[in-house]
């Protein structure tokens, strides 16, 4: 890892529902498809579309044309949506009685992990 980039532990996980709080897609909701912790970015379903111009390659079965797909978005521009209260919230942690460490909603104190 380079000296100018500090890696922070990401609290977002795959299949979390998030809302975009900054950028051109602010206000949109979506499900996390992929997490890229090295770059502190995530790919969210239906958010931050880019157009890719692809050249056809018959050997690999790739059709040519303009393809739209989701681009990675920085994790700091997202907030998780609580499944219990339905509001966007910050993430807290808590130890349950059985010893598991779970993420909790800071507003309603509901458990975010399944």
Please give the average per-residue pLDDT across 6-29, as a whole number. Answer: 91
What average pLDDT is seen over the chain? 92
Higher pLDDT, 5 or 101: 101
Nearest to 18 by CA among 69, 68, 60, 76: 76
Could you tell me the two tokens for 38?
């090295």
Higher pLDDT, 6 or 37: 37
Please give the average per-residue pLDDT across 83-91, as a whole number. Answer: 94
Please give the average per-residue pLDDT across 93-112, as a whole number. Answer: 94
Could you tell me the two tokens for 64?
């040519």
pTM of the model as a whole: 0.84
The residue count of the chain comes to 114
Write down the architecture of domain 1-80 according to CATH.
Answer: Roll (2.30)
In the chain, where are the structural domains located? Answer: 1-80, 82-114
pLDDT higher than 90, residue 26: yes
Please give the average per-residue pLDDT across 84-104, as a whole number. Answer: 94
pLDDT higher than 90, residue 9: no
CA 58 – CA 18 distance, rounded (Å): 38
Please give the average per-residue pLDDT across 60-79, as a whole number. Answer: 94
Please give the average per-residue pLDDT across 55-79, as a whole number. Answer: 94
């Amino acid at each position: 890892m380079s000296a100018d980039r500090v890696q922070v532990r990401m609290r977002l996980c795959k299949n979390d529902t998030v809302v975009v709080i900054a950028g051109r897609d602010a206000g949109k909701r979506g499900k996390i498809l992929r997490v890229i912790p090295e770059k502190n970015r995530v790919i969210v379903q239906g958010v931050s579309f880019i157009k890719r111009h692809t050249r056809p390659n018959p050997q690999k079965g790739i059709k040519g044309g303009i393809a739209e797909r989701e681009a990675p978005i920085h994790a700091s521009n997202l907030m998780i949506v609580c499944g219990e209260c339905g509001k966007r919230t910050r993430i807290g942690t808590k130890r349950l009685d059985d010893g598991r460490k779970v993420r909790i909603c800071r507003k309603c104190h509901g458990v975010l992990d399944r």
